[in-house]
Structure 1
């Protein structure tokens, strides 16, 4: 087109500059740059050529306001420092960054934080285009997503009416873990359990306990309360639980731990007590924590990064009008070096 150096007065070109050099209105320039209809093809080409020659770049905030969106996604979770939420957030952020979305994070570290988040959910929604909820357990309130949120919602870790969900079958996965030990010939199988957390209304501990019991009963083995101990969801708790279980009159030859972190403590405590793993004691964890592979831990794999990616893609789809979906993610057994047959 050939635009003279004196045509633009500002160091940063604006749509007014483009309008002036093309001889069309500012409104027409705006529509052409946003690829909206009702702009003649020749006019659109002239505007785009001028924008390129002027090296025009749309101001990000102005573009967002013009689109009618916040270009922000809300993400809420109990504790982002914990393994599951932090890994899920990594997958989530990778998708939103590529799509040009910012994140608005709400961390619910205390029961009051969670209650406040739900009370103020409508206000939070005004700042975002959609939400991803990680282990928020809104469903325990007996309400649907619409009772709290007026934006598209994806719930990770729970089924929530009116929202898309990405969950695992904790009961089935725990049963598979214990069935693996039974198939190896173990009959005295202990459980290192995670307790119910007073500040997090999660059904996970109960579901994994039920899966443990399902496998034993299906194999005709007794469910012995003496083979169950609380590991507190920590490595230290897992170590303490093993010490107690090995003092039982009939100590277990195998353990199912409700989390890898508790299993790490079990492995450490077994070494200190001179227990060979898997020679004297087989151990199965749950999660596939970052350290599980390095330690050779047999575990049930939660593909948390991939679940985060799917959650992010799903909420973007909901924003564009896609239907609500429920996804149950498979949790495969990863048989490594901490399980073996008796003898």
Structure 2
């Protein structure tokens, strides 16, 4: 088996230089780094994770905390983070907090105390004061995606602005009877995203001189099925039917498209529909959406974490960094029917 001493002899450097070059910890000249890399490649040398951990005090492992694994958005953030971490030579430990209260507490009381991770990325989680204290007591860097956490570097999406853009797009097309499908009360627990998106929708209407109508608001669970049933209620009502629907997620918006078709309505001739996310199926359904690029969010969180783990090695990223988004117009929205 090839040892670090073998690599050092072939490269003509010390074992300490080999360790710094291959681990990325510490300063090594470009010339020395090239010699070590070439020697390690020629000898098929693989860094021992246990030895590296003992030498650096790091496990090269990052914990990812998510509220659900059955939602496209969360798995997309995880995928983006995992790929970025792999490029940095890190493994991932995934913590799914959708279980019982006891299971969630065990993550903070037991799993994190084992200290087998170098840092944590939380995705769209509203942490209690006690949980935040435990994270800080853990003594490892933490990065949040999807909302503010006290004392934690975070990436945040302006849900008010995103919803306002979606609603304003419908208003610009000439719609005045615009319905909204938001999140149910259960889904308002994490950073109040449904409340913020409803606020942005209503603010855009009021700015256009339109009073929001309570009968044009319905809730669902951020799934295609949930959006389908909510749209059936909105579009099948004997009251004056809306000419457009803004759904708080693309999956719910896709459910709206399917419900409209089942009711014999043509999208967008009879009803315009817009969502939020940039879901991988949105293009297939011709869905107009405000894309928020979840995979990029995961990769961006890793950039911040790497900067916290190795200060000065990576470019500084501002605290509470706003996330980017874009209006993507497709065939599901048009001018209202005459």
Shorter-chain TM-score range: 0.7 to 0.9
Unaligned runs of 5+ in 2: 27-32
* Offset at residue 200 of structure 1 (A): 4.6
Task: Give the secondary-structure state (helix, strand or coil) at the position aligned to 2:335.
Answer: coil
In 2, Cα distance between the equivalents of 1:282 and 1:120?
49
Q: Distance in 2 between matches of 1:291 and 1:159?
A: 29
Alignment of 1:180-329 (within 5 A): 180-197=169-186, 200-246=189-235, 247-321=237-311, 325-329=319-323
Confirm whether residue 59 of structure 1 aligns to residue 48 of structure 2: yes
Tell me which residue corresponds to 2:335.
341
Distance 1:51 1:237 in 2: 54
Q: 1:196 to 1:149 in 2, by over 3 A?
A: farther
- Rounded Cα–Cα distance in structure 2 between residues aligned with 1:156 and 1:48: 35
Q: Is the 8 A contact 2:175 2:244 kept in 1?
A: yes
Q: Distance in 2 between matches of 1:52 and 1:333?
A: 46
Counterparts of 1:74 and 1:214, CA distance in 2: 38
Cα distance between partner residues in 1 of 2:188 and 2:84? 30
Contact residue 83 and residue 299 of structure 2 kept, 8 A: yes
> Could you tell me how far 1:205 is from its partner in structure 2?
0.7
List gaps (5 residues or longer) in structure 1: 1-11, 23-27, 38-43
Instruction: Give the distance between the partners of 1:261 and 1:49, measured in 2 at CA.
Output: 49
Summarize deviations over 1:285-333 as a string: whole Å, max 9, x none.
1111110011110011111111111111110111012566221112221
Q: Distance in 2 between matches of 1:212 and 1:306?
A: 25
Q: CA RMSD in A?
A: 3.2
Taking the aligned partners of 2:42 and 2:292, their CA distance within structure 1 comes to: 51
CA contact (8 A) 2:188 2:195 kept: no
CA distance in 2, matches of 1:338, 1:50: 57
Question: How many pairs does the alignment contain?
Answer: 321
Between the aligned partners of 2:36 and 2:289, the Cα distance in structure 1 is 59
Q: Cα–Cα, structure 1 residues 218 and 286, in superposed 2: closer, same or farther, change >3 Å?
A: same
Question: In 2, distance between residues paired with 1:210 and 1:153?
Answer: 29
Q: 1:279 is paired with a residue of what secondary structure?
A: coil
Q: 1:33 aligns with which of 18, 21, 34?
A: 18
Give the greater-gyration-radius structure (CA): 1
1:166 corresponds to 2:155: yes
Distance 1:202 1:111, change over 3 A: farther
Q: Deviations over 1:240-267 (max 9, x none)?
A: 2122112141110100011111111111
3-state SS of the aligned residue for 1:197? helix
TM (norm. structure 1) is 0.83
Query: Residues of 2 paired with 1:91 and 1:308: CA distance?
Result: 5
Give the 3 Å change call, closer, same or farther, for CA 183–17 of structure 1 in structure 2: closer
Determine if contact 2:108/2:135 at 8 Å carries over to the other structure.
no
Counterparts of 1:153 and 1:198 in 2: how far apart (Å)?
A: 24
Equivalent position SS for 1:251? coil
Asked if the contact 2:168/2:204 (under 8 Å) is kept, the reply is yes
